[in-house]
Amino acid sequence: MTMPQEKKRVLLIGEQPDIELFAMLGGEGYEVAALESPRRATGVFPLYKPHFIIVHLRYPKEVALLEECLAMAGTVPVVATISLLAKQSFVKVVKEKAAAFVVLPAKLQTIRETLQAVAVLRMKHNFRRLRKRFWELIPQEKNNPSRQILFRSR
> What pLDDT, in 10s, does the model give residues 69-120?
999 998 899 999 887 777 777 888 888 888 888 888 888 888 889 888 888 8
User: Residue 55 falls within a domain, yes or no?
Assistant: yes
Q: What is the CATH number of the domain that holds 55?
A: 3.40.50.2300
User: Residue 75 falls within a domain, yes or no?
Assistant: yes
From the list 71, 72, 52, 24, the residue with the least C-alpha distance to 118 is 52
User: Residue 117 falls within a domain, yes or no?
Assistant: yes
User: Residue 121 falls within a domain, yes or no?
Assistant: yes
User: Residue 122 falls within a domain, yes or no?
Assistant: yes
User: Residue 41 falls within a domain, yes or no?
Assistant: yes
User: Residue 79 falls within a domain, yes or no?
Assistant: yes
Q: Supply the range of the domain harboring residue 75.
A: 9-128
Does this model's pTM top 0.75? My answer is no
Average pLDDT, the chain: 80
> What pLDDT, in 10s, does the model give residues 47-67?
999 999 999 888 888 889 999
Q: How many domains does the chain have?
A: 1
> What pLDDT, in 10s, does the model give residues 23-37?
899 999 999 999 988
Contact between 44 and 72 under an 8 Å Cβ cutoff? The reply is no
